[in-house]
Structure 1
Amino acid sequence: MIRPLAAAIAMLATPVAAQVTIQGDTTTIQLGNAPTVEAETREAVSIAPQAVMRGLDKLAGASEDIVLTAGDPITYGPLTITMRECRYPQGNPSGDAYVGLLVVDRNLGGPVFDGWMIASSPALNAMDHPRYDVWAIRCKLDDRTPSVVAGESSPLPLMRPEGLGGN
């Protein structure tokens, strides 16, 4: 009686591999023996020429905003970061950014990240590096787009409304 119960518990604890297939506008997800799920995943997107990323040196505790231009590699510590594409919802440039990146560590001699980062969910597909973190902030359309790097994110300091505490 105990053996079948232990086998059932072991089966429940065993992770099941998911298989994701993307064809055209349809994504098919198959999880073990579960029914296949198909979803329309394409929403209208636009492509920006630049992306704003944030880099963190975990050892020094210093963060820095990095502006990437499609196809132009930049150096951040021992990392060479190349943006392939920055996508955002059509008509909403301040919306969620999807950034296609290749990150190569010259000390390790190979890529440490090759894929898409999503600004609203940085942990969904994060770069795994012992010292550096890099994640997407937003797409940048042109030089007139506000940039945290240039300190242009707000033309005026934020003011506390009158009567809400403080001096």
Structure 2
Amino acid sequence: MKRLVTVFMLLAHSANAQTVIEGDNTVISLGNAPTAESRTRASASSAAQAVMRGLDKLAGASEDIILTTGESTDFGALTITMKDCRYPKGNPSGDAFVNLEITDSKTGKSAFEGWMVASSPALHAMDHPRYDVWAIRCKLDDRTPSVVAGESSPLPLMRPEGLGGN
């Protein structure tokens, strides 16, 4: 291991090593080796409210849930508390990160605690047999609509009368 560190240090200090900083990007190249690039993450801003969507898998009903920081609400047997909602600074319609604490009021156990990412709901998802909750976006004020173009309706789709069923 010590030998590997020594070799890396020699490569890093060789005449072929070059570090270029361009704006928010840092590019490191070592001779003919592939370049390594790092990007500085944009800073985040906090919003006072978050929009989540809840799904009752048994009833097939979904509902938009709007919470203010520190507020709790019940969704079926779940109690959802929103701790924080962050979005990229200067881009309120950008990717939202919502910090939630969700407990099952029937069992008293935690169903989820942590950050949910709106663009990747499966990245850190809640695992519950009946309910599903995921982050949609941060909401900056009361004028921000809860459903915008490109998203599904908060109401479940209904079949027209006389088609397939009841």
| Structures share fold, TM-score greater than 0.5 | yes
Cross-structure match for 2:101? 102
Cross-structure match for 1:119? 118
- Partner SS for 2:127: coil
Cross-structure match for 2:52? 53
| Structure 2: segments with no counterpart, 5+ residues | 1-37, 150-166
Aligned partners of 2:88 and 2:95 also within 8 Å: yes
**RMSD of the TM alignment (CA)?**
1.9
Cross-structure match for 1:79? 78
Instruction: Tell me by how many angstroms 1:146 deviates.
Output: 1.7
Q: Which amino acid aligns with 1:73?
A: S
Aligned partners of 2:55 and 2:61 also within 8 Å: yes
Give, in whole Å, the separation in 2 of the partners of 1:68 and 1:89.
19
Larger radius of gyration: 2
Instruction: Tell me by how many angstroms 1:43 deviates.
Output: 2.4
Cross-structure match for 2:157? none
Q: Which amino acid aligns with 1:147?
A: S
How many corresponding residue pairs?
Answer: 114
Query: Normalization by structure 2: what TM-score?
Result: 0.65
Instruction: Tell me by how many angstroms 1:75 deviates.
Output: 0.5
Instruction: Tell me by how many angstroms 1:134 deviates.
Output: 0.1
* CA gap 1:98/1:112 in 2 versus in 1, 3 angstroms: same
| Structure 1: segments with no counterpart, 5+ residues | 1-38, 155-167
Cross-structure match for 1:63? 62
* CA gap 1:43/1:110 in 2 versus in 1, 3 angstroms: same
Q: Which amino acid aligns with 2:125?
A: A
Instruction: Tell me by how many angstroms 1:108 deviates.
Output: 1.4
Instruction: Tell me by how many angstroms 1:96 deviates.
Output: 0.3
